[in-house]
Amino acid sequence: MEEFKTAINEKITLIENFIALSLRREKIQNVSNKLVKETKELKKLMKQVQNALKKDINKVDEEHGRLIIRMQRQQGAILEYVLAERRRKFEEAEKREHEVLVAFKTSNAPRTAEKKPITALERGLDHLNLNANAVTPKLTLSSYMESPLVKQRTLNPIPFTFLDFEYRITPEQYESIPKYMRGRESVDDLRNFLDAVIVPCFNKKYQLIHRQRSAVRNRHDLELWKVYNQQSSYVPGRNFITAGDISQHLHKMLDKKQQNRIVLLRHLGVLQEQRVGQTVCYIWNADTH
């Protein structure tokens, strides 16, 4: 009897649940329809967003393409401008070189009694302190650094020497050197060594070191230019050459006789020796006394 009663109660519960669901079916149906409708609207909205993104991407691609073309045109224009500027500067350098050559020739020409007006170019050459009466033009180091000569782009620059590195050893000075230091050297031997070896080393170095890098065209000179500029901090504010510079000029290592001549020049105060690491520097000291 109890089992029969339980079975009846279960059936009654199922009937009640069915009736409850049936009553809620209409409400659930409405919610379901609403969700379906919103889903369709959402799909439609997503479709619009996709179309808008695609349109924007196409527009960005077009603008990017136009920007690339504009940049290429601008690069071409800049390249043309740079080439034109280089060409103009090269022509100006050639013109200045030609003017200096003409001025050198003119300065060595015979003078007439008639007084001619001084041209702007002649005034510029006077500013360089050029000695026109010398076989080789001479100028001061400071004037050279401010002159157009440092910008000359030529494999055969105009030869000249610096007045800063001129020095004449007098017989009295030579006699002041102890005899044991002089040995068999004569005043002429020492003068020739100074004029033919030491001074040319200074002239070569300081003509090259102060030239603009773009004006140094020879590969060997460019390597020397780099070395000289790296060594420029060894003795700040002083002009000097190294033992390597002298050996390079002589195309051989310094022998005992040449080293002794350097000792004599140091004794006279023409040169001053200073070691910087492994490098022996010979400082031009003649202008200090």
CB-based contacts of 217, cutoff 8 Å, min separation 6: 153, 154, 155
> Given this model, what pLDDT does residue 8 score?
74
The answer, yes or no, to whether residue 289 has pLDDT greater than 70, is: no
Residue 213: φ, ψ to 5°: -60, -40
C-alpha dist (Å) from residue 168 to 171, 202, 241, 263 = 10, 16, 19, 17
pTM as predicted:
0.54
- Distance between the two ends of the chain, CA-based, in angstroms? 143
Which tens digit of pLDDT belongs to each residue from 29-58? 677 777 777 888 888 888 888 888 888 887
Which tokens is 199 given? 């001074």
Which tens digit of pLDDT belongs to each residue from 90-143? 677 777 766 666 655 554 444 443 444 444 444 444 444 444 444 567 888 988
Pick from 18-32, 35-49, 198-212 the range whose average pLDDT is largest. 198-212
C-alpha dist (Å) from residue 55 to 29, 65, 142 = 39, 15, 68
Cβ atoms within 10 A of the Cβ of 287, count? 11
The answer, yes or no, to whether residue 194 has pLDDT greater than 70, is: yes
Please give the Cα distance from 262 to 268 (Å, whole number): 10
Which tens digit of pLDDT belongs to each residue from 253-270? 999 999 999 999 999 999
Mean pLDDT of 227-232: 92
Task: Identify the CA nearest to 169 among candidates 152, 158, 182.
Answer: 182
The answer, yes or no, to whether residue 162 has pLDDT greater than 80, is: yes
C-alpha dist (Å) from residue 170 to 164, 174, 187, 209 = 18, 6, 8, 31
> Given this model, what pLDDT does residue 7 score?
73
Task: List beta partners, residue 242.
Answer: 281
Q: Do residues 162 and 206 touch, judged by C-beta distance below 8 A?
A: yes
> Given this model, what pLDDT does residue 52 score?
84
Rounded to the nearest 5 degrees, what angle is found at the Cα of 233, between the Cα atoms of 230 and 234? 100
Task: Identify the CA nearest to 209 among candidates 253, 182, 242.
Answer: 242
> In the CATH scheme, what is the code of domain 120-288?
1.10.10.1890
Task: Identify the CA nearest to 210 among candidates 164, 264, 147.
Answer: 147
Which tens digit of pLDDT belongs to each residue from 68-82? 766 666 665 676 666
> Given this model, what pLDDT does residue 106 score?
55
Helices (H), 168-214: 171-175, 179-182, 187-193, 199-209
Instruction: Name which residue leads in pLDDT, 155 or 195.
Output: 195
The answer, yes or no, to whether residue 17 has pLDDT greater than 60, is: yes
